[in-house]
Amino acid sequence: MGGGAIGAFCEAFSAHRPIASAAVAAQYTSPAVKDLWSQVMEEFVAEVTKAIESERLRGAAPEGIPAHDLATSLNWMVERVLFTTFSGQTPGVPEERLLDTLVPIFMSAVYGRAEA
């Protein structure tokens, strides 16, 4: 859990940098884009929520913050960090360190440690 999904998200943002950055920015001025982006994020949150709940059920991840709340927070964190990096905002995480930064944060939040 974590690295592969975050890596795929990073690759998608990177491969479509202008479109992804424009879409993220447009959500603040276009209700239609906001609704679409919300739907996309809801899908990501639902998948991560299921994964967290599954990991908790099998005893690999400790109970803690409600899974949906944790998934929501982690997904928005990843989205925001990718947006700042790929749109050139500062401060930002250098592109070559995105996964090395985001994956341990994600894993620590879910598992209580940086590795699963």
Q: What integer is the mean pLDDT of 68-97?
A: 92
Q: What is the CATH number of the domain that holds 51?
A: 1.10.357.10
Domain that holds residue 63: 3-111
Strand ranges (DSSP E) for 14-55? none
Residue 7 lies in a domain: yes
What value, to the nearest 5°, has the Cα angle with vertex 82 and ends 31 and 1? 105
> From CA 23, how far away is CA 46, in angstroms rounded?
21
Domain-located, residue 95: yes
Q: What is the pTM of this model?
A: 0.85
What total of structural domains would you count in the chain? Answer: 1
Digit-coded pLDDT (tens) for 89-112: 899 999 999 999 999 999 999 999
> Which tokens belong to 57?
């059920």
Burial of 11 (0-12, 13-18, 19+ CB in 10 A): exposed
